[in-house]
């Protein structure tokens, strides 16, 4: 069978690049047989599957001034300092985001998706990857985007779920369970070049380094990798970069389009190991 599944990774505003990638593949006639997403990739996967292909429309439906303030806070490191100072269970109240997701997806359920859809979250207590294939789309997206400490965890399936990036930043395994030919889209920032200035920054960088290593292992299982590779770091909530990352996603997809087309044409039986 022709086509590919996509594994869309997390990255905050950089996740809008996924919609640019998908636009290029659609224009090229690549059949999309499955979409797996984590965090921002979960939002992009669900939005595309249910026909919301305009990144500005998706953004306006969900995010409000409170979330926009995150970009003006400077970075997640600055937010972490606010979190410690205020001693709140979460920095952001997600009521507005929840309302936006409900307005965007309505009563749609994951199992009703026109394209097979798998959204990845993580169990806050065990760190286990939790792949959501059934239930309300809005709640699955909310769980997959729930950055620990920043957004409150989401109670679902008898678990407390948080951002899927905690378990696997690019959900390649979830995509392979949908369809065996996988294109992974990694929208990560480049690794930092400067040493940490504070103990808090060092702790945050250590967590990022661990996720980077797990991501590298996951990407080895993909057949084609499209990396956003931004020319400079783009903060998670720098929504002023939306158009830039969308166009960069399109550009990176066009660069790898010959490989994606070749993979899409590959017969499934040719992927099986020979005896």
pLDDT in tens, 216-264: 888 999 999 999 999 998 888 888 899 999 999 999 999 999 999 999 9
% of the chain residues with pLDDT over 90: 61
- Is 274 exposed, middle or buried (CB count within 10 Å of its CB: 0-12, 13-18, 19+)? exposed
**Average of per-residue pLDDT values in the chain:** 86
Rounded to an integer, what distance in angstroms lies between the CA atom of residue 122 and that of residue 168?
9
Q: Where are the domains of the chain?
A: 2-268
Q: How far is CA 274 from the centre of its chain?
A: 34
Mean pLDDT (whole number) for 2-24: 96
Q: Which of 38, 39, 144, 188 is catalytic?
A: 39
Q: Which of 38, 113, 144, 163 is catalytic?
A: 163
Other CB atoms closer than 10 Å to residue 88's CB: what's the count?
13
Mean pLDDT (whole number) for 104-124: 97
pLDDT in tens, 153-208: 999 989 999 999 889 899 999 999 999 999 999 999 888 777 877 775 676 667 67
Q: Which pLDDT value is given to residue 48? A: 98
Rounded to an integer, what distance in angstroms lies between the CA atom of residue 91 and that of residue 49?
30
Q: Which pLDDT value is given to residue 89? A: 54
pLDDT band at 78 (very low <50, low <70, confident <90, very high): low
* SS3 of residue 68 by DSSP: helix
Known active-site residue 123: no
Q: Which pLDDT value is given to residue 267? A: 80
Rounded to an integer, what distance in angstroms lies between the CA atom of residue 153 and that of residue 164?
11
Task: Give the chain's end-to-end CA distance (angstroms, integer).
Answer: 21
pLDDT band at 274 (very low <50, low <70, confident <90, very high): very low
Tell me which residue of 59, 3, 8 sits closest to 31, measured CA to CA: 3
Q: Identify the residue whose tokens are 């690019």.
A: 170
Other CB atoms closer than 10 Å to residue 233's CB: what's the count?
13
Known active-site residue 188: no
2-268: what fold?
Answer: Cytosolic phospholipase A2 catalytic domain (3.40.1090)
CB 148 within 8 A of CB 166: yes
pLDDT band at 88 (very low <50, low <70, confident <90, very high): low
% of the chain residues with pLDDT over 70: 84
């Amino acid at each position: 069978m022709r086509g590919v599944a996509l594994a869309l990774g997390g990255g905050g505003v950089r996740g809008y690049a996924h919609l640019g990638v998908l636009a290029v593949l659609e224009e090229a006639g690549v059949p999309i047989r499955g979409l797996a997403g984590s965090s921002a990739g979960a939002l992009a996967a669900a939005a595309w599957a249910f026909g919301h292909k305009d990144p500005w429309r998706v953004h306006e439906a969900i995010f409000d001034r409170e979330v926009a303030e995150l970009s003006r806070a400077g970075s997640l490191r600055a937010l972490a300092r606010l979190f410690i100072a205020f001693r709140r269970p979460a920095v952001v109240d997600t009521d507005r985001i929840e309302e936006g997701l409900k307005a965007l997806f309505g009563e749609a359920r994951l199992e009703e998706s026109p394209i097979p859809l798998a959204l990845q979250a993580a169990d806050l207590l065990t760190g286990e990857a939790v792949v959501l294939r059934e239930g309300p789309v809005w709640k699955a997206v909310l769980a997959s985007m729930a950055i620990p400490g920043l957004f409150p965890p989401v109670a679902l399936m008898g678990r407390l779920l948080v951002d899927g990036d905690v378990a696997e930043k690019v959900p390649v395994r979830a995509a392979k369970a949908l369809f065996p030919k996988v294109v992974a889209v990694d929208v990560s920032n480049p690794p930092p070049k400067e040493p940490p200035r504070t103990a808090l920054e060092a702790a945050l960088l250590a967590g990022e380094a661990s996720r980077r290593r797990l991501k590298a292992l996951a990407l080895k299982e993909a057949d084609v990798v499209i990396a956003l590779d931004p020319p400079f770091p783009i903060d998670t909530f720098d929504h002023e970069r939306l158009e830039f990352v969308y166009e960069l996603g399109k550009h990176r997809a066009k660069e790898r389009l010959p490989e994606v087309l070749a993979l899409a044409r590959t017969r499934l039986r040719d992927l099986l190991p020979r005896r």
